[in-house]
Amino acid sequence: MGDRSKIPVKIHSRDRRDRSPQDGYLEVVSWSKPERVRNAVRSFGMWIGIAFGCALIPFWHFLLVPVAVMLAFTVALKKLEEQSSVQNGTGLCPECKAPLKIEGGTIKQRTLETCARCFHSLEIKTQTED
């Protein structure tokens, strides 16, 4: 599901700018239009199912059902617009040289992370940016 590719990144220290940046990569999944529609329909159906399940809860269904229906539309539209997503990534911390695991999310030219070992603030830049 989706085309996977690796994007090279540079990992910079935000605390100490004199450190040389380290290389890393992000694993990115890109979806075609039919796959995006399938993801949107799947998430819409899941939230509508949750709304029907919430209808069985006494009193709270007055709040939970409308919220679940609104979430169904919001999440489905977001899934329909989402063309690609970062699944994971790896690299080395410029400070302590420990392996750095980059969590998934949206693709940005600059992303902030924290090293799990030395707790330094890191900035991850895609290679396309100068």
| Secondary structure, 3-state, 15-35 | CCCCCCCEEEEEEEEECCHHH
96 and 70 share one domain:
no
How many domains in the chain? Answer: 2
Q: What is the mean pLDDT of the chain?
A: 85
Output the pTM of the full model: 0.65
Identify the bridge partners of residue 123 per DSSP, sorted by sequence position. Answer: 12, 112
25 and 43 share one domain:
no
pLDDT at 130 over 60: no
Q: How confident is the model at residue 129 (pLDDT cuts 50, 70, 90)?
A: very low
Rounded-to-integer distance, Cα 116 and Cα 130, Å: 27
Closest by Cα among 101, 64, 68, 67 to 86: 101
26 and 38 share one domain:
no
Identify the bridge partners of residue 92 per DSSP, sorted by sequence position. Answer: 99
Q: Report pLDDT for 5.
A: 83
Q: Report pLDDT for 24.
A: 85
Segment holding 44, helix H or strand E: helix 33-54
Contact 15, 95 (CB under 8 A): yes
106 and 68 share one domain:
no
The residue among 104 and 98 whose pLDDT is bigger is 98
**Domain span at 108:** 3-31+88-126
51 and 77 share one domain:
yes
